[in-house]
Amino acid sequence: MMNWAANISLKKYNTFGIDAIARYFAVFATQDELAALLDGVPGQMVGSPFILGGGSNILFTKNIDGPVMRNEIKGIELVDEDEHYVYVTVGAGESWHGFVQYCLGRNWAGVENLSLIPGSVGAAPMQNIGAYGVEIKDVFHELKAWDLVEGKVYTFTLNDCQFGYRDSIFKGKSKGRFIILSVTFRLNKIPVFHTAYGAIREELERMGIQELSIQAISQAVVNIRTSKLPDPAQIGNAGSFFKNPTIPSIHFEYLQKQFPGIVGYPEASPGGTGTGPASAGMTKLAAGWLIEQCGWKGYRHGDAGVHTRQALVLVNYGHATGQELYDLSEEILHSVHEKFGVTLEREVNIV
């Protein structure tokens, strides 16, 4: 039987480096090990297990009284292919960026824009991770997940996952019910390049790229991310802490008159095409710009702060508590709402 350990620090299991304590902790690397652990849950444990992947999208604000399980299911397997696509099943415990590199080495296209995003493969569909015009839903085929209520494995299709902006069924009505075991991706044999973002075009030009490739796009993304985002190995952080908010375009036009430098991108309104009058649609704002305008960029109080180069990123300079970082995020939310009338949402999961 797999073993549970008691009173384990989660500091090395989360990229913020928060020293929260798990009352009970265990690791599983196969479905059978997971089942054995669940059968062997100590009687005094309460609640469903909390599942840890790469720990890159979590802020622990307290110790965890319930069981904590770290998913270390590995493996990358080509399971099917046709004229246009390869279908690749990946263990939920694989490193996301490691998987991206694996794809680049085989010229499988579709995930290159998602290079250097921290975390595990299993967490990717939970969050519907995205960057530079690509989201998980664009390359997703299906996933398998253990149902903690019924004690069996279910397969989720694209529609089943109910993907939204940094959202899925696993963050909504089924939060805490399923443990993702593996994810199958549909990747292109012939690449479709996504270079609409100005930052990528500029970086490719700076790199002197003559012939576009998925490897060149990946390197451009890596260069951009490393220039803007701190390495969690050097300074505790979870990447972007807030989502980019979407507001009615008529609100954006009002803000534009007050703040001519405001950054926004047109989006289709629900059920719309985004091609009609601006006031009929929605506009996505750059949360980092809003936060910076409120004076938070580079702010520090004790060991909790806002990164000096990217206002979207909250950082732990060493010994900040999760509660201190959460309180800082609250102050930021209030100041942005007060100045712009815009409500930010956290992208990071608060525990």
Instruction: List pLDDT tens digits, range 70-91.
Output: 999 999 999 999 999 999 999 9
Together in a domain, 253 and 312: yes
Is 193 a domain residue? no
Which range (40-44, 146-150, 210-214, 249-253) has the least confidence? 40-44
**Domain stop point among 188, 221, 251:** 188
Select from 139, 132, 136, 138 the least CA-distant residue to 167. Answer: 136
Give yes or no: 166 in active site: yes
pLDDT band at 197 (very low <50, low <70, confident <90, very high): confident
Together in a domain, 172 and 82: yes
Determine the pLDDT at residue 277.
41
Is 194 a domain residue? no
Instruction: Say which residue the tokens 């989720």 belong to.
Output: 156
Is 274 a domain residue? yes
CATH code of the domain in which 21 resides? 3.30.43.10
Determine the pLDDT at residue 239.
87
Is 15 a domain residue? yes
Select from 121, 97, 13 the least CA-distant residue to 58. Answer: 13
Together in a domain, 83 and 114: yes
For residue 229, give both structure tokens: 């985002």
pLDDT band at 276 (very low <50, low <70, confident <90, very high): very low
Together in a domain, 127 and 53: no
Together in a domain, 90 and 26: no
Q: Is the pLDDT of residue 257 over 80?
A: yes
Which residues, in sequence order, are CB contacts of 313 under 8 Å at separation 6+? Answer: 229, 230, 237, 239, 240, 241, 306, 307
Q: Is the pLDDT of residue 183 over 60?
A: yes
Q: Is the pLDDT of residue 34 over 70?
A: yes
Active-site option among 56, 115, 168, 240:
240
Active-site option among 56, 115, 120, 166:
166
Predicted TM-score of the model (pTM)? 0.83
Determine the pLDDT at residue 45.
58
Give yes or no: 206 in active site: no
Q: Summarize the confidence of residues 219-223 as an average pLDDT.
A: 95
Q: Summarize the confidence of residues 224-238 as an average pLDDT.
A: 89
Q: Summarize the confidence of residues 172-186 as an average pLDDT.
A: 93
Together in a domain, 242 and 344: yes
Q: Is the pLDDT of residue 228 over 90?
A: no
Is 163 a domain residue? yes
Give percent of the chain with pLDDT exceeding 70. 94
Quote the number of domains for the chain: 3
Q: Is the pLDDT of residue 347 over 80?
A: yes
Q: What values do phi and psi take at 100, rounded to 5?
A: -60, -45
Together in a domain, 299 and 330: yes
Is 86 a domain residue? yes
Active-site option among 142, 203, 324, 347:
347
Give yes or no: 330 in active site: no
Rounded CA gap, 196 and 203, in Å? 12
Give percent of the chain with pLDDT exceeding 90. 75
Together in a domain, 255 and 157: no
Alpha helix segments (H runs only) across 174-298: 198-207, 214-228, 249-258, 287-293
pLDDT band at 43 (very low <50, low <70, confident <90, very high): low
Together in a domain, 99 and 66: no
pLDDT band at 199 (very low <50, low <70, confident <90, very high): confident
The whole domain housing 16 covers 5-71
